[in-house]
Amino acid sequence: MKETKIVRVLGDFSFDALFGNLVNELLPSYLDEETDTSEGLGANDTMPAGHVRTHSDAGKASQIDKKLNNLKNEVATQDSKHRKTLSELEKGVDGLFDSFARLDSRISSVGQTAAKIGDHLQSADTQRETASQTIDLIKYLMEFNSSPGDLMELSPLFSDDSRVAEAASIAQKLRSFAEEDIGRQGMTVSSVMGNATASKGLEVAVGNLQEYCNDTVRKEAATITAVFPSPNDVMSILIQRVMEDRVPNLLERLLVNPSLAHPPPMEEGGLILFLKMLAVAYEKTLDLARDLSAIGCGDLDVEGLTESLFLHHKDVYIEYEQASLKQLYKAKMEELRAENQQASESSGTIGRSKGASIASSPQQISVSVVTEFVRWNEEAISRSTLFSSQPATLAAKVRVVFTCLLDQVCQYITEGLERARDSLTEAAALRERFLLGTSVSRRVAAAAASAAEAAAAAGESSFRSFMVAVQRGVVWLLFSKYYFANSISRLLLPVDGAHTASCEEMSTAMSRAEATAYKGL
């Protein structure tokens, strides 16, 4: 019974009716529009899906197309305007960038100019400050120079305990200035030859500065003694720092070892200038060490510290001394040759005047020249003694220095004898040249006789010059022997064989000069 009812119900059910009801309920507006449009279509106006196109839809489509075309045209017009505006904006932006670049360049230029102006102002201010300090230093130097030995008349700066640091700085600058000026004075050629001395005013000023510095050190030492329970320990630390820091820095600036392969020329002082500066620096440093030891420095070996400062210079000293003696001899020989050439150019023609010029030629052996050789040697011996604390070391250095003297004297005398012998030979050749036969005219014979007489006078003068050269050579060889016996021999005794070797070298030098003299005779 139940199954029959179900079948009956299903028999009345329709899916099409259900679908149509759903469509009508859910899409009423769409159906209404479709009904309206279907009325305006003809029999053949159908859509591809089977729907019919109405006249209303065609009008709307036409309107839509027209609006679309209008919109497209407007869009194209606006796009063109937009592109034009963008192009103009790009040009404007490029112009702005160029303007900014020019502005940046201008700003940079102005900044550089301002920086240069600032540098110039800073430099001017520095120069002004330096000039002001220089004026003050000159004033203080004049005070030291005008009151030798009297420190009470100096500026209050040097007596004010609260300005000790400032006074010490000024004193150091004044001393540096004085030392530099003395060094410049020593650069002249006359100083190289042993005649250099600083001006008297600067010597007094330096002496006053040294005395002031020593007086200041004494006062500080007294203060340390009164304040510290172990003043010697404090002074030893202070002095050790001075000797290991300040003094080496000063010596490093003053003593620069010149090259032996390419020594400085004599016009700039030569090697002798360095040796003199080295000797003075060593002496002054020793004096400073003794003064500090006298003040009190505990168990500190101040002199040992001083020796260590010059250890390197002592090791190479004798090489510089030997090279300096050779450089001095070379410079002296060049000077004599230049004088002889100048005298030859100003000499007269053949005759008695020529004979006189030969006799008085500056190339003859000169007493003053050999004396200068000995003076150089004595100075070198004194420096060797200063730098040598051990007798054996001193003997080795003295032998080297004395050998240089023997070489110089022997070479100078030998060359002088050879020049005198050449003049004698030249005079003999002139005499033979003007000897003529009897078959000549009186005029020619008279001229020949006059020339022969002049040649004879020249020969006589040359022979006299040769004998004078021999005599001076012998004298100076004997003087060298005397100098050796009185000044050199005692210094060579500590080294076995040194005295004998020097005697043999001296004998060899005499033999060479003697052989040259025999050739002339």
**pLDDT tens, position by position, 275-295:** 888 888 888 888 878 887 777
- Which amino acid is present at 194? G
Whether pLDDT at 187 is above 60: no
Find the mean pLDDT for residues 397-415: 85
Q: Quickly state the pLDDT bin for 131 (edges 50, 70, 90).
A: confident
pLDDT score at 521: 57
Alpha-carbon distance 420 to 467, whole Å? 9
pLDDT confidence of residue 59: 78
Q: How confident is the model at residue 27 (pLDDT cuts 50, 70, 90)?
A: low
DSSP state of 148: T
Query: Which pLDDT score is estimated for 491?
Result: 83
Q: What is the mean pLDDT of residues 482-500?
A: 80
Residues 6+ apart with CB under 8 A from 440: 448
Binned at pLDDT 50, 70 and 90, residue 460 comes out as low
Most confident of 147-156, 204-213, 402-411: 402-411
- The answer to whether residue 357 scores a pLDDT higher than 50 is no
Whether residue 188 has pLDDT greater than 50:
no
347 or 200: whose pLDDT is higher? 347
Q: What's the confidence (pLDDT) of residue 208?
A: 61
Average pLDDT, rounded, for the chain: 72
Query: Rounded mean pLDDT of 184-198?
Result: 41
User: In angstroms, rounded to a whole number, what is the distance separating the alpha carbons of residues 476 and 367?
Assistant: 8
What pLDDT, on a 0 to 100 scale, did the predictor assign at position 195?
37
User: Which residue has 């007086």 as its token pair?
Assistant: 215
Selection from 30-39, 189-198, 484-493 with the highest mean pLDDT: 484-493
- How far CA 470 is from CA of 52, 352, 364, 420, 499, in Å, comes to 156, 23, 10, 9, 28
Average pLDDT, integer, range 92-108: 87
**Of 242-251, 308-317, 378-387, where does mean pLDDT reach its minimum?**
242-251
Q: What angle do CA 495, 500, 505 make, to 5 degrees?
A: 120
Largest Cα span, the chain: 201
Label residue 138 by pLDDT band (50, 70, 90): confident
Q: Which comes out higher in pLDDT, residue 364 or 500?
A: 500
| Predicted local distance difference test score (pLDDT) of residue 281 | 83
30, pLDDT greater than 60: no
∠406-411-412 over CA atoms, to 5°?
Answer: 100
Of residues 94 and 16, more confidence is placed in: 94
> What is the predicted pLDDT for the residue at 456?
58
Whether 313 has a pLDDT exceeding 70, the answer reads: yes
pLDDT tens column, 64-83: 888 888 888 888 898 888 88
CB-CB neighbours of 303 under 10 Å:
14
CA distances from 147 to 104, 143, 162, 170 (A): 64, 6, 23, 17
pLDDT of residue 116: 84
pLDDT of 498 strictly over 70: yes
Q: Which of 135-139, 310-314, 474-478 has the lowest mean pLDDT?
A: 474-478
Q: Residues 438-457: what's their mean pLDDT?
A: 56
- The span from the CA of 64 to the CA of 69, in Å, is 9
Per-residue confidence (pLDDT) for residue 8, from 0 to 100? 47
The length of the chain in residues reads 521
Residue 406 has pLDDT above 60, yes or no: yes
Q: State yes or no: pLDDT of 32 exceeds 80.
A: no
CA atoms of 459 and 352, how far apart (whole Å): 10
